[in-house]
Structure 1
Amino acid sequence: MNITDYLLKSQVDDDSLVLITQKEEHSYRDLKNATANLVDTFQSLGIHAGDRIGILGRNSLFWVASYLATMKIGAIAVPFATKIPVNEITDQIEQTGCKALCVEKLLYKRYATKLPESLLVIEEGRLNKSHHVLAGTALEFDKNQDAAWMLTSGTTGKPRIVRITHLNIQANTDSIIQYLELNRHERMMTILPFYYCFGTSLLHTHLKVGASLILGDSIAFPEKILDLMEEKACTGFAGVPTTFQIYLRNSTFPKRKLPTLKKIQQAGGKLSTVLIKELIQTRPQTKIYIMYGQTEATARLSYLPPELLKTKLNSIGRGIPNVELKVVNKDGNEVKPEEIGEIIARGKNISPGYHNNPQANAEKFTDNALKTGDMAKVDDEGFIYIVDRKDDFIKSYGNRVSSQKIEACILEQDEVMAVAVIGVPDPLRGEAIRAFVVLRPNAAITKQEIISHCMKQLARYMIPRDVIFTSDLPTNQHGKVIKSKLKE
C-alpha cells in the first residue's frame, strides 16, 4: 500500500479547497502539484525508501506536501516541533538519523548555522519544479513499513520516537471518519500543529474525505481564531484541555453565535467536569466529542458519543471502531465495575513500538497490546472513566490521591482559568498537595478561599497544603502541562 495515495484518493474535485488561511486558499490540485514537485526533488537528491526526512515548519501547504511526498516515496516522515531550542532540534535530528530536512523559510534562518553539514536541506520556496503528475508513479510498500516517526509530547523528559506504519494511519483514519461521520463538506478550524498526533489525525481524516482545513496561527490568539471561524464558516473545531480553558474563560467564545459550528473534538488530556458542563451550556446545538488517545495509538483510542455526554459525564467512552480497550489489574485480569486498573489497548492502529528503545518497548508494549499508563474505572456498561496518569497519583497520609480530582474541584471556582496539582515531599503527610493556579484577569479570589472551597468538597487528605498563584503553567508544544517542571 501507499498511504499518500490512500489519503489523496477522495472523490472530491481537484479544484475543491483543501487548505485555507487568512490570506491564501489552496486546492487539492495545488497540493498534489506541490507534493509531486517535492517527490521529484527528493529523488534528484538521492533520497530513497527507508530514509528519514525531517519536517520543520508551521501548518502550511509546504508542510503538508513535505509530509505526503516523504511517505509517497517510502521514506519516513519525522515532524519536529517548531518552538524548541536550537540544540534540541539538532539533538532530535541526530537521534532520528534524518538524511534530509524540509524547513520553512523563516525557521531556516533561525536554525541554519546549527544544522549538521551532512544534512540535505530543502528550504520552502526552493523546490525542483516538476510537471510530473503525482498519481503517475505507483509506489507500493509493505503495510507494516514505517511511514512516520512521531516524537512523544515528553511531559516527563526526553521524547521517545514512536514508529507509525502505513497500516496504523489507515486503520486510525478509517475509524475516526466512521464515528465522527465526516464528509467532504467539513471545514475544520485547525489550531493544533500537524507535528502533534492530534493535529496529524485532523489532517489525515479531512484529506481522506476531501474536506477543507482552515489553518489558524496559534491557540494563543483566540479572538483572531474566532473571527476566522466566523469568516470561513467553520463546521469543526478541535482542542486540548488548555484550549478550552482559554476559550471558555478568557475569550468571547461563550458569547459568539458561530452558527455553522457543528462538531467540537476534545482530546489530549482529561477535560474537567466543570469545563465540560460549560462547553455544553455554551454550545447546545453543537455535537461535542470527548475523546482519548495516545501517540502510540496513531492518535485515537476511544470516544464518548455526544448524546451520552450528560448521562456519562466524565467518561472517555468506549473503544473506537476496531479498537479493543480493557481495564486490567496488576495481574492482567479485567477489573470489576468501580475498581481501578490500567487501560490496555489493541488494534491495527497500535504502533509496533519505539525506535531504538528496547527497555521502553518492553514496558509499554506486551502481547501486541499497548499499556497506556492511564489508570481508570469501568461502569457496568463498559464505559471508561480515567482516574489519573499512573505517574501523577499523590500518596498523602497513606492514601492514593488523584491529582485530577483536586484540579477539577479547584476549577469549579469561576475565577480560576487553569490549575495543576502535584505532590511534594512532606515529613508528616508523605507527600503534601501543592496547587499551581492561574487566575482570570482581574480575579479577586484568595488562596485561602481556594483551600476553603476544597475543604467543603474533598476529603481531608486531599486538601492542598499550598496554593501558588502563577501567570501561566509550563506546557509542552502540544499544550499539555509539564508537571515535572513544577516539581523542580
Structure 2
Amino acid sequence: MNTTDYLLELGQDQAIALIDGSKSYSYYDLKNASACLAQELLAVGINPTDRVGVIGANSLFWAAAYLAILKIGAIAVPFPVTLTASELQTRQNFVQCKAICVEKRYYQRLQGGLTTEARLIFEDSLKKSEGVWWATLPTYGDEQDDAVYLFTSGTTARPRVVRLTHRNIQANTTSIIEYLELTSADRVMAILPFHYCFGTSLLHTHLRVGGSVVLSRFLYPETMLDTMEKTHCTGLAGVPSIYQTLLRNTTFPKRELKSLRHIQQAGGKLQTVLIKELIAAVPQAKVFIMYGQTEATARLSYLPPELLHTKLGSVGQGIPGVTLSVINESGVAVQPGEVGEIVARGDNISPGYLDEPEANAKKFKDGALYSGDLATVDEDGFIFVVDRKDDFIKSYGHRVSSQDIESGVLEMPEIVAAAAIGLPDLVRGEAIRVYVTLRAGSELTPEQIIAHCKPRMAHHMVPQSVVILQNLPLNENGKVLKSVLRQQAIAELEAQEKGAEACVASPELSI
C-alpha cells in the first residue's frame, strides 16, 4: 500500500488535521493541497523513484509536499532549514534531487546551494488547488520501494542518508499507535521538525488515526505552552534538551495542562532525576520513555508508564513487531549486568544507507540493525542504555559513561543541561570536562559543581573541569553536539600549549 494512502485512509474530510497559529486545516484541505503539489510535480516531469527535496518549517506546505511526493511514488528527501547554502549544496550533490519543494522565506538564504538542475516548487502552488481532485491522482509505490531518504542526526560524524521504505514507515507507525493507544481524539504538539524522524513520526501516527497536529516552535517555550492550553493538546513529544528547559526554566511544572494525557521522550537519555520531575509535573499524563534511531524509521523500544517507578532508567523492551537483543563482541546475548551492543530486528529496519557499502556492512547484518549503543539488561530483560560507543571516557584506566556523569551533575536543581566529554590528559588518560547551562539568575560556580560531585562519584568519574555556557551546541534536531564541544576544547588546549612553548622560547616573555 502506498504510504500516503495509508496515512490518510482514516481521516474524515471535515476533521481538523493541522493547526498552525490561527489557521486550522481539515483533512479535505490537506488532501487538496497535496493533490495540487502532486500535479505540479508530475507536470515538471517527476517520475516514480525520482528524488524530491523538501525545505521548510512545519507547515501545511511541508506536510502537503511530503504526502504528494510519496503519493506519486517519488522519494521524499527532507532537508533541515538550518543548513547553510554550502551544506545544502553538499547534500544535494550527493542525493541529486530532481525537484525541490522550498518555502520562499528560505530561498534567498539557501539559493546558492540549490543546483540549477533541480526544479523548484514554492508554496504559491497551493493557490492553484481549485479543480484538482485527490481521488483522480494516480498512486504508485510498492511496500518494498524506497519512500524517504532521511539524514542522520550527525552528532558524532557527518550525516548519512538512511533509506526508508513504504513498509518501514507503515510498520513503525502501526507499532507506535498500538502502544500509545492513539485515537482520532488525539492532538499532538509538534515542536520537533518534520525533517527529523521523531518529528515525522508524530505526523505519521496522528494522520493515520485521523487525529490532529499542532504546529509550533520551541524558540519561545512559554508561547508554545500557551498554544498547548489553547488548542487542548493531548500529547507532547520532545528530546532531552526540550524537557530540561521546560522543567527547569519555564512555568511548565506549574501549569495544569488538563488535556495532556501522554508525553513522549526519545532522542537521547533523559536523566532519571528529570524523569522524576517530569512525572511530578504532569501527574495526569502517561510518560513514555522511548528509544530509537533513524535507521529504525523512528522507534525501537518503550517503557510502559506503569513501570517507571520499578524500572526507572530503562528504555524498556522492543515495541510491537520489533525484537531487541543485547549481545557481546562474540555475538552472544549478555547476562544481567554485562554490557553489550543493542541489536534490532523488525519490519521498521532500514535496508541501509544510500551508496555506503562499507558502512552498511558494519551497521546492517542479515537484516538486523547494529545500533552502536551499549547497554545492559536486568533479570526481566529490560534494557538500560549505558552510552554511545563514541561517548565513553577513559579515565584512570576506567571506561566511564558520560551519561552517568551528567546524571550526577543534574542532581543539582539549578543546572538545566549538562554534557560530559573526555580530553587528552597524560595522567588521567582522559580528563573529564562537563559543560553546563544554568537556570536564569543562578550564581552557581564551577567549583561548587565539582564539590557536589566529589562525595557522590568515584574518583575516576569526578570532573576535572566545569564550563558554564549560556547554551549547549545543538543540532537541528535538538541533540547536544558533543563533537563540537570536543573540537573546541581540544583547539583551546592546543592554543594553550603553543602559548606555553612561545613563553619558553622567548626569554623576554618568561616569568
Q: Which residue number in structure 1 is paired with residue 317 of structure 2?
A: 318
Q: Which 5+ residue runs of structure 2 have no aligned equivalent?
A: 488-511
CA distance, structure 2, for counterparts of residue 199 and residue 142 of structure 1 = 24
1:138: how far off? 4.6
- Aligned pairs for 1:334-413 (under 5 A) are 334-413=333-412
The residue identity in structure 2 corresponding to 1:40 is: Q
Number of equivalences: 486
Q: Deviations over 1:410-458 (max 9, x none)?
A: 0000111111000000000111101111111111222121111111111
1:113: how far off? 4.6
CA distance, structure 1, for counterparts of residue 76 and residue 297 of structure 2 = 14
Q: Which structure shows the higher helix fraction? A: 2
Q: Deviations over 1:67-115 (max 9, x none)?
A: 0100111100000000121111111111111000000121123223542
Q: Which residue number in structure 2 is paired with residue 165 of structure 1?
A: 165
CA contact (8 A) 2:40 2:125 kept: no
Q: Which residue number in structure 2 is paired with residue 98 of structure 1?
A: 97
- Aligned pairs for 1:55-74 (under 5 A) are 55-74=54-73
Q: Which residue number in structure 2 is paired with residue 4 of structure 1?
A: 4
Q: Which residue number in structure 1 is paired with residue 491 of structure 2?
A: none
Q: Which residue number in structure 2 is paired with residue 299 of structure 1?
A: 298
1:13: how far off? 2.1
The residue identity in structure 2 corresponding to 1:200 is: T
The residue identity in structure 1 corresponding to 2:29 is: D
- Aligned pairs for 1:196-207 (under 5 A) are 196-207=196-207
Matched, 1:458 2:450: no
Q: Deviations over 1:293-346 (max 9, x none)?
A: 000000000000111111110000000000000000000100001100000000
CA distance, structure 2, for counterparts of residue 287 and residue 78 of structure 1 = 33
Q: Which residue number in structure 1 is paired with residue 117 of structure 2?
A: 118
Pairwise CA RMSD: 1.0
Matched, 1:146 2:146: yes
CA distance, structure 2, for counterparts of residue 357 and residue 458 of structure 1 = 42
Tell me the secondary structure at the aligned position of residue 369 of structure 2: strand
CA contact (8 A) 2:32 2:129 kept: no
CA contact (8 A) 2:48 2:140 kept: no
TM-score between the two structures when normalised by the length of structure 1: 0.98
Q: Which residue number in structure 2 is paired with residue 414 of structure 1?
A: 413
1:400: how far off? 0.6
> Which piece of structure 1 moves more, 256-265 or 117-126?
117-126
The residue identity in structure 1 corresponding to 2:187 is: R
Q: Which 5+ residue runs of structure 1 have no aligned equivalent?
A: none
Runs of 4+ in 1 over 4 A off after TM superposition: none
CA distance, structure 1, for counterparts of residue 381 and residue 130 of structure 2 = 53
- Aligned pairs for 1:273-292 (under 5 A) are 273-292=272-291
The residue identity in structure 2 corresponding to 1:474 is: P
1:130: how far off? 5.5
CA contact (8 A) 1:102 1:121 kept: yes
Q: Which residue number in structure 2 is paired with residue 484 of structure 1?
A: 483
CA distance, structure 2, for counterparts of residue 211 and residue 356 of structure 1 = 37
1:140: how far off? 3.9
CA contact (8 A) 1:36 1:130 kept: no
The residue identity in structure 1 corresponding to 2:237 is: A
CA distance, structure 1, for counterparts of residue 386 and residue 396 of structure 2 = 19
**Percent of aligned pairs with the same residue?**
56
The residue identity in structure 1 corresponding to 2:181 is: E
CA distance, structure 2, for counterparts of residue 140 and residue 157 of structure 1 = 35
CA contact (8 A) 2:85 2:112 kept: no
CA contact (8 A) 2:36 2:125 kept: no
- Aligned pairs for 1:236-255 (under 5 A) are 236-255=235-254
The residue identity in structure 1 corresponding to 2:427 is: L
CA contact (8 A) 2:33 2:64 kept: yes
- Aligned pairs for 1:219-258 (under 5 A) are 219-258=218-257
Q: Deviations over 1:442-475 (max 9, x none)?
A: 1122212111111111110001101111111111
Tell me the secondary structure at the aligned position of residue 479 of structure 2: coil
The residue identity in structure 2 corresponding to 1:63 is: W
CA distance, structure 2, for counterparts of residue 118 and residue 84 of structure 1 = 20
- Aligned pairs for 1:25-40 (under 5 A) are 25-40=24-39
Q: Which residue number in structure 2 is paired with residue 214 of structure 1?
A: 214
Tell me the secondary structure at the aligned position of residue 66 of structure 1: helix
CA contact (8 A) 1:5 1:135 kept: no
CA distance, structure 2, for counterparts of residue 470 and residue 37 of structure 1 = 47
CA distance, structure 1, for counterparts of residue 129 and residue 5 of structure 2 = 21
CA distance, structure 2, for counterparts of residue 325 and residue 53 of structure 1 = 33
Q: Which residue number in structure 1 is paired with residue 177 of structure 2?
A: 177
The residue identity in structure 1 corresponding to 2:222 is: E
TM-score between the two structures when normalised by the length of structure 2: 0.94
